Amino acid sequence: MENIMSTPISPADLMVQANDLSPVVTAAQRAVVENSKGIDADQASRMATTLIDAARSAQRTLADTRKYPAGRRAEADEILVKAEGEYSEWRQTFELVEAVYLAELRVSLFKAPTGTDALIARQDAEQVLRRRDMSLHDVFRTLVSAGGPVAQLAISPWLELVATGRGADAKALRAVAEEDFLQQAAAKGDDTARKMLDAPTAYTKVRIAVDKIASECLAVNRSAFAQRAMSWGSEAPEMAAEIRALKAQLARAQAKSPQEG
């Protein structure tokens, strides 16, 4: 463990170091930028910047040796508390941002056929439904694999009508049909389908990266730098010097006593 009392400290050194943060923060910020590409995550980049700015501001406050240590600590704590509140609010809304983004992709991808296409697709689908050698799940997988309007019909509200008529679990049936439709569309190079597949992982990585930034930045008032900064202007050096002087005085007195005897 670093001995902060043995490390030469100067106000100029402290202020230079005040802008330095952990390498973890730098790496996490890069991860936020990289994984935000292609998704609605502008808020995450702004939140990362807010946390980093707050950490540096708190460290500069701690390094301002013109102020009393207690005052510096209080100001730094206030800066970090404000940033923590903004982070907590972001954490709650970011999940909503992800849900809205994915919902918009779903609406764009899962479109029901209309007009003549819908009539023809339903006729074709009804023929497959009459087959008794296939489970309902396999029927819908077959419809989805057909592609075009038939596949679109298979993941439309028509699915619930069929499931209800057959006494099947519509939720489970939709999960199977939509997953097959999504994978098939992505395999054919559909950009919306690719985004739907990639977005959940990207959002998770962004969330983890911002969490790492928050964990580091909101703790700078308890860091080794904070200890170095708070030792400047505190009573600790003076007390240590006074104790050393008293010990030296005692040693001289003890060395003098035998001679007098």
Question: For the segment 122-154, what is each residue's pLDDT rounded down to a tens digit?
Answer: 999 999 988 888 889 999 999 999 999 999 999
Residue 6 has pLDDT above 50, yes or no: no
Q: Tell me the two tokens of residue 205.
A: 């990585």
| Radius of gyration, alpha carbons of the chain | 33
| Confidence (pTM) | 0.75
Rounded to an integer, the average pLDDT of 9-15 is 77
Task: State phi, psi for 114 to the nearest 5 degrees.
Answer: -130, 165
Q: Could you tell me the CA-to-CA distances from 109 to 2, 96, 102, 106, 149 in Å, in that order?
A: 58, 20, 10, 5, 13
Helix-strand-coil percent breakdown of the chain, rounded to 5? Answer: 80, 0, 20
Q: Which of 81, 71, 48, 13 is nearest to 219 (CA)?
A: 81
Residue 57 has pLDDT above 50, yes or no: yes
Q: Which residues contact 120 (CB under 8 A, 6 or more apart)?
A: 149
Rounded to an integer, the average pLDDT of 162-174 is 90
Angle at 83 between CA 82 and CA 84, to 5 degrees: 90
